[in-house]
Amino acid sequence: MDNELEIHFPVETDLVELIWGNETVYPWNPSNPMADHYFSIQDHSFSVTAWSANELSPNVESFFAGLEELWNGFKSETESLLVEGYSDVDQQLLNLQLQFGVVPMGIIERIVNCAHSLYHSNLSLLEQLTVCVHGAFPHIDHEDLWVLARPFVYAMRSGDMVERLVDIHRNSQWHTLSDVEQARLGLAIAQVILSSRDTL
């Protein structure tokens, strides 16, 4: 048993020496007077003056062109994976989140799920809008939602109301909006879903 401890002790000592060796630690506070000394040593150890401007210029341009090519390839590959990896409902949720960025994703999901459950219902459009939004905002009276939803039913023919509402609240924060403004955004989401559900 003592031999085991003696064998591991030098290994542990070597590990501690490697971790806490005499190597200079990076100065995290650049206003520290010792930081100037560290940075000047680092500057002198790497010299760009060994290359002329004629040597650097084409290499730098080709380097950044290669980076740009890699980035564009990665970006397009990621975007195609996003589109291919989602179902129609997931893609719709993603599009709604992009369009109605101020609205929390949980509320969007509740409205979308309710709208999809009402797909074959015999309810009027006004009733469908209010049912979808009432599930996400149960504290708002059903009759109040009817009053708020009426303009959305008429606007479904033109679609301008949703665009204006999104533009008005584009830079808002959800918690700063009143209950009525939040319900209107919910109704706008329900209107978009109900008007586009035939394409799913």
Structure letter (DSSP) for residue 199: G
Verify that 40 and 16 share a domain, yes or no: yes
Verify that 97 and 193 share a domain, yes or no: yes
The CA distance from 92 to 52, in Å, is 55
pLDDT value at residue 200 = 47
Verify that 175 and 122 share a domain, yes or no: yes
- Say how many CA atoms lie within 13 Å of 148 toward its Cβ: 26
Length of the chain counted residue by residue: 200
Verify that 75 and 107 share a domain, yes or no: no
Verify that 134 and 177 share a domain, yes or no: yes
Verify that 194 and 105 share a domain, yes or no: yes
Verify that 63 and 125 share a domain, yes or no: no
Neighbouring residues of 173: CB distance < 8 A, sequence distance ≥ 6: 102
Per-residue pLDDT tens digits of the chain, which is 200 residues long: 455 545 556 777 777 777 776 666 667 777 777 778 887 877 777 666 666 777 777 777 788 888 888 877 766 655 555 555 456 667 777 788 878 888 888 888 888 888 888 877 888 888 888 998 988 888 888 888 888 888 887 766 555 777 777 777 777 888 888 888 888 888 888 888 888 765 54
Neighbouring residues of 8: CB distance < 8 A, sequence distance ≥ 6: none
The CA distance from 157 to 199, in Å, is 17
> How far is residue 45 from each of residues 22, 41, 42, 136, measured CA to CA in Å?
18, 6, 5, 62
Spatial contact of 115 and 123, defined as CB atoms under 8 Å apart: no
**Per-residue buried b or exposed e for 153-181, using 16+ beta carbons within 10 Å of the residue's own CB:** bebbeeeebbeebbeebeeeeeeebeeeb
Helices (H) and strands (E) in the chain, counts: 9, 0
Verify that 129 and 188 share a domain, yes or no: yes
Spatial contact of 157 and 189, defined as CB atoms under 8 Å apart: no
Verify that 72 and 135 share a domain, yes or no: no
Spatial contact of 178 and 186, defined as CB atoms under 8 Å apart: no
Containing structural domain, residue 58: 48-85
pLDDT value at residue 192 = 85
